[in-house]
Amino acid sequence: MMGIIGGTGVYKLVERGNLKEKKVLKTPFGESPPVSIFMLEDHEVAFLPRHKEGHDLPPHMINYRANVYALKMLGVDRILATNAVGSLNESLKPGEFLIPDDFLDFTRSRPFTFYDDRAVHVDVTQPYCPQLRQTLISNGQKVDGRVVESGVYVCTEGPRFETPAEIQMFRKIGGAVVGMTGLPEVVLARELEMCYASICMVSNYAASVSSEKITLDEVFEVAEEKKKELTRLIHNSILNISDNRECPCSHALEGAEIE
């Protein structure tokens, strides 16, 4: 089954599907937000709002382990996530999308693994599922506006936005976009052998890339404006992806620990 994790401004994605049920899952890591299970033509899809509905939870307080585990319990094997981001370059504009192919992790206080009781070291040479990414990229051609095919996602701890010095550093070390919610989610999915790809929605230029002050209002405004395109991209990707998982994600735990 396909799972969707909706970020800021994306609390519902069932408009074109048929809602079957909504349920809270009890995981070993705590409860999930209410997950909507719906049919998109003949595909069953689970939708989980990362921040809970109405944006109650700040990025560092989200229970990423409960969220990913809840989707696994439902039988989800592939996750499409949406993440609001700031752009580190003038050439990538608010309203555009980017499909990241790598990340830099600057988070510091979040539970970041399912394996605290044994040494499991998953490989993240390709941190985002190559097959899911390719599906997003090819379906991105049908979306109004630009979908950038790769780039490094920088994850900060938040909840504050970044300083100019931090943004200059992120640019120098190869970052394309900056957000607060992509980690540890992407790694937790890999730890459970689930495919994971992200659609980053650029809501603003990062601090000092433009001289404007960054506000949460603009983040929500762009999310609202781009909701239709985002929904279209996700729905088309779900309808067009092949049923077979032709990627390394499904056997990520092979070789990750001593036998």
Site for ligand HPA in 184-223 (CB under 6 A): 203-204, 206, 214, 219
Smallest distance, Å, CB 214 to ligand HPA?
A: 5
Q: Does 98 bind ligand HPA (CB under 6 A)?
A: no
Instruction: Determine the Cα–Cα distance for residues 186 and 243; give it in Å rounded to an integer.
Output: 21
Residues 171 and 70 sit within 8 Å (Cβ to Cβ): no
Q: What is the DSSP string of 58-109?
A: -GGG--HHHHHHHHHHTT--EEEEEEEEEESSTTS-TT-EE--SEEEEE--S
Kind and range of the H or E run holding 135: helix 130-140
Nearest CA among 52, 153, 48, 29 for reference residue 100: 153
Residue 62 touching ligand HPA (CB under 6 A): no
The strand pair at 43-49 and 35-40 is best described as antiparallel
User: CA-CA distance, 187 to 115, in Å (whole number)?
Assistant: 12
In whole angstroms, the minimum distance from the beta carbon of 241 to ligand HPA comes to 27
Site stretch for ligand HPA (CB under 6 A), options 26-34, 92-100, 155-163, 244-252: 155-163
Stretch that binds ligand HPA, among 40-48, 78-86, 107-115, 247-255 (CB under 6 A): 78-86
How many chain residues touch ligand HPA (CB under 6 A)? 14
Residue 175 interacts with ligand HPA (CB under 6 A)?
Answer: no
Q: Tokens standing for 189? A: 């999915």
86 binds ligand HPA (CB under 6 A): yes
CB closer to ligand HPA, 37 vs 178:
178
Q: Is 234 in the site for ligand HPA (CB under 6 A)?
A: no
Which residues of this protein are in contact with ligand HPA, per CB under 6 A? 84-86, 156, 161-162, 178-180, 203-204, 206, 214, 219
